[in-house]
């Protein structure tokens, strides 16, 4: 069955459409450069409502398993691939990628020259696109407020331990929760809309999660967030890093086509070391706007110089634009979580650790 991906600027890419969908679907089209990790990408709430183009030519080799999902269902609006494997060559696989996408009625296209799509996005920037059985022009309507769709509205508790972490949910990946629980702590997941309830928990530390879309969608909650940050040791991850910056008076801006992949180099400004990171975001903290805040830049992106991390000079507060839990991706940055726990225990400023 013939299918088309039509970008906002008019470029049209033809492929073979999956049989599990009929009506056109629209969303922001983005590309992911990793060779593996498609299951995590498809289920990551940060991809909520987006059409993901996988640049690696063969996707689905090892199928879908029961352990690697970042939420309980796919979050993307659609997927675009050159080739999707018909078999699952891994002992943990429970179904093929095609079976999984059909099960959840996720539209996908195959036979598409994904490198050409990527070139178009890199040239014109991330944009709206339509997947359909004919070439249809996208509307002018942009997706907004995805965090209100992606987060869990209920407060939930996990694990046991002497330390208690409040995980503020903007659309949290399962792997962030899992990585915290590995530290033998109690974790209470608090939706960002109920951030005032953090004070009732009196936690030892606070983690601000990843999430989809524009961090300014959370503007209504920045005053409450600032109060939490002023009172508890804190770590911001991805979207959490961005809203942390906003809470302290900085600004954020949208990148042309974002950072998505598992091999983004980041430099630690204190040690001078460079490490590889997993990233998924459209927005970054505006470096110039930090001059009017107390926050200091701790990490920078080697490729484009964008801000990859922040720290407070005297309070136990730090952040990372990348994903230290690294699912999918390299484990080079997992030490950031260790530093947060060390900082939380001593309550010294982040500058003493990062």
Could you tell me if residue 288 is inside a domain? yes
Q: Which of 162, 127, 157 is nearest to 143 (CA)?
A: 127
Pair (315, 179) in one structural domain: yes
Q: Does 141 reside within a domain?
A: no
CA angle 96, 107, 114 (to 5 degrees): 85
Would you please indicate which residues are annotated as catalytic (active-site) residues? 238, 323, 325
Show which of 68, 102, 132 is a domain's final residue. Answer: 132
Range of the domain at 24: 2-132
At 351, the pLDDT band (50, 70, 90 cuts) reads low
Alpha-helical segments (H) within 27-158: 38-43, 97-103, 114-124, 146-150
Residue pLDDT, tens place only, 253-288? 999 999 999 999 999 999 999 999 999 999 999 999
167 shares a domain with 119: no
Q: Which of 233, 3, 237, 217 is nearest to 110 (CA)?
A: 3
88 and 208, same domain (yes or no): no
Same domain, 77 and 176: no
Whether residue 215 lies inside any domain: the answer is yes
The CATH number of whichever domain residue 9 belongs to comes to 3.50.30.20
Residues 120, 164 within the same domain: no
Q: Residue 143 falls within a domain, yes or no?
A: no
Residue 348 has a pLDDT of 66
Q: Say if residue 170 is in the same domain as residue 212.
A: yes
Q: What is the C-alpha to C-alpha distance for residues 30 and 118, in angstroms, rounded to an integer?
A: 8
The total domain count for the chain is 2
Per residue in 130-177, pLDDT (tens digit) is 999 999 999 877 777 899 999 899 999 999 999 999 999 999 999 999
From 72, 103, 132, give the residue that closes a domain: 132
Q: Are residues 128 and 193 in the same domain?
A: no
């Amino acid at each position: 069955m013939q299918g088309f991906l039509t970008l906002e600027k008019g470029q049209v890419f033809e492929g073979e459409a999956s049989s599990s969908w009929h009506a056109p679907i629209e969303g922001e089209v983005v590309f992911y450069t990793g060779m593996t990790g498609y299951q995590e990408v498809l289920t990551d709430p940060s991809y909520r409502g987006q059409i993901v183009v996988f640049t690696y030519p063969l996707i689905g080799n090892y199928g879908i398993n029961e352990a690697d999902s970042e939420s309980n269902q796919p979050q993307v609006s659609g997927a675009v691939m050159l080739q999707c494997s018909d078999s699952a060559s891994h002992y943990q696989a429970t179904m093929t990628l095609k079976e999984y996408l059909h099960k959840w009625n996720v539209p996908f296209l195959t036979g598409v020259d994904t490198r050409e799509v990527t070139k178009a996005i890199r040239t014109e920037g991330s944009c709206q696109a339509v997947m359909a059985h004919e070439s249809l022009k996208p509307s002018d309507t942009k997706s907004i407020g995805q965090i209100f769709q992606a987060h869990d509205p209920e407060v939930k508790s996990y694990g046991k331990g002497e330390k208690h972490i409040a995980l503020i949910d903007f659309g949290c990946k399962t792997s962030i929760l899992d990585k915290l629980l590995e530290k033998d702590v109690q974790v209470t997941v608090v939706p960002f809309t109920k951030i005032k309830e953090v004070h009732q928990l009196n936690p030892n530390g606070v983690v601000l999660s990843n999430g989809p879309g524009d961090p300014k969608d959370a503007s209504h909650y920045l005053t409450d967030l600032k109060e939490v940050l002023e009172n508890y040791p804190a770590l911001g991850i991805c979207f959490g890093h961005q809203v942390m910056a906003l809470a302290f008076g900085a600004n954020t801006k949208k990148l042309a086509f974002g950072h998505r992949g598992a091999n983004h180099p980041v430099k630690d400004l204190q040690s001078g070391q460079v490490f590889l990171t997993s990233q998924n975001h459209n927005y970054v903290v505006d470096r110039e706007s930090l001059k009017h805040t107390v926050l200091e830049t701790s990490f920078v992106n080697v490729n484009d110089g964008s801000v990859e991390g922040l720290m407070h000079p005297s309070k136990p507060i730090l952040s990372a634009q990348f994903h230290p839990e690294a699912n999918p991706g390299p484990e080079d940055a997992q030490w950031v979580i260790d530093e947060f726990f060390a900082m939380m225990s001593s309550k010294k400023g982040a500058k003493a650790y990062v």
